Amino acid sequence: MSRGTRARHRRVGGGMTADERPSGHACDVVVIGGGPAGSTAATLLARRGHRVIALEKDHHPRFHIGESLLPMNLPIFTRLGVMEKVKALGVHKPGADFEADNEQGYNTFDFSRALGNSPPHAYQVWRQDFDCMLYRHAGENGVDAREGHEVRGVEQRGPRDWLLRVTAADGSDYELHARYVVDASGRDAFLSGKKKLKRKNAEHQSAAIFGHFRGATFRPGKDAGNISIYRFDHGWMWMIPLPNGVMSVGAVCRPDYLKQRRGRTVEFLLDTLRQNAALWERIEHAELMGNDVRVTGNYSYDSARMGGPGWILVGDAFAFLDPVFSSGVYLAMSGAEQAVEVVDEALRSPGREAALQRRLERRQRRGMRRFGFFIYRFNGPVMRKLFRSPNNVFQIEQGVISMLAGDVFDSFKVWSRIAAFRVVYGVLALGNWRRWKAERRYRLAQARSQFTGGNTPLDKA
């Protein structure tokens, strides 16, 4: 950090500055969490000249779900300087395919047909390798990246004066002083929980069961890297091609369905996957790696607000939607990148902080609503029909492809077609209102359900 930057830090913001405390236990910004959102925020803040400490409670590489990325991630990778690293880790993903009543049995929504400026492809990655790479990259960019360091408590003494109590992997405890806290703690939602901001989604709730298979059948030709989406009576299923011939396969279910498993985890997954004949045909002779099946639940939630004086929530620490459109990593990294602008400005000109936070929160919620419209209705009869038999009148299908690519924020050309899609959806729903109403009633009832019994690190005991 330059001498001029340090001087500016002393003049604004209030509280003791990072330069007035021992460097090992003080910083400008603490980032809680070492996932994609946390690593993105930490890297870019360090490049702005801020002293950043990133605390990850586990050690990389560590398990995480969410292996399918979106094309709109790619410009962020370029700005971070990790594009070549992602290419080396990933499987080329040209599009997403959904079941259809045609000769090949599916429709491919090819990203190259998107309307906006989104790249024509994305990648599928092992999340433990992807997250580890981003975290190591943060360290290479000047971040003090500490693994096995868990934040146990926080105390805000002023708008720019935080005290954090941290426990290291060796059992030792220490205190850490910071001027700003970026919470990227994922589904732990550390600050959101402390401040009682976390809210269960009243419109949608789901749980998932999944594993990794060797020997599954990939799509032929150029579609080999597609994510494939299937449906069954209790939700939807995915097949995600990963490096070295591995296929991630699972089902996102209504909570009441998954509660029926009663300890039969492996058998329950296989029995569930058998409920879609087309998917089962692709994995019938495949091997479930390690006989290992994971279960996780209660995906959908948000926080009542995104930030306040001296703190901000990014990624899953703020909100998470159902993963049907693979939006999680993109929303996390995009939100983190935007949050860097807020934090940087707040540390230099605190008077603008509240307005910048409100603007970012409106933007993030707008993108979530556009994804959410499709997600909440995905299992219903109307959306099922529209995805099985897409129509590109008024470029509506291309607008949907743009949404699938992650282009949900700034393109008028895209969101105007999404608005047109909603009109078409409404007309079809009126024509099939009894089934639409029954599905909506069931969905809202399931949203009130609470799933327990997950066995991933993301599920609380």
Q: For residue range 255-269, what is the model confidence (pLDDT) as tens digits?
A: 888 877 776 799 999
Q: What is the rounded average pLDDT of the residues 42-57?
A: 98
pLDDT higher than threshold 80 for residue 453: no
- What pLDDT is stored for residue 432 in this prediction? 85
pLDDT in tens, 213-256: 999 999 999 999 999 999 999 999 999 999 999 999 999 988 88
pTM over 0.75, yes/no: yes
Q: Name the one residue in this structure whose structure tokens are 């001498």.
A: 3
The string of pLDDT tens digits covering residues 391-405 is 999 899 999 999 999
CA–CA gap between residue 53 and residue 13 (Å, rounded): 19
Return the SS3 of 347. helix
14 confidence band (pLDDT: 50, 70, 90): very low
Angstrom distance (rounded) from CA 405 to CA 70: 5
pLDDT in tens, 341-381: 999 999 999 999 999 999 999 999 999 999 999 998 998 88
Mean pLDDT of 326-343: 96
| Chain segment 142-197, per-residue pLDDT in tens | 999 999 999 999 999 999 999 999 999 999 999 999 999 999 999 899 999 999 99
Task: Give the integer Cα–Cα distance in Å for 185 and 37.
Answer: 9
Tokens 């509506």 sit at which residue?
396
Q: Which tens digit of pLDDT belongs to each residue from 380-432?
A: 889 989 999 999 998 999 999 999 999 999 899 999 999 999 999 999 999 88
Sorting pLDDT into bands at 50, 70 and 90, what band is 450?
Answer: low
Residue 49 Ramachandran class (φ > 0 left, ψ -120 to 50 alpha, else beta): left
Question: Mind listing the pLDDT tens digit for each residue in 307-319?
Answer: 999 999 999 999 9
| Alpha-carbon Rg for the chain in angstroms | 22
- Confidence check: pLDDT of 13 > 80: no
CA distance 271 to 42: 43
Residue type at 60? H
Using DSSP, state whether 406 is helix, strand or coil.
coil
DSSP string, 158-169: ETTEEEEEEE-T
Residue 33 CA to residue 184 CA, distance in Å, equals 5
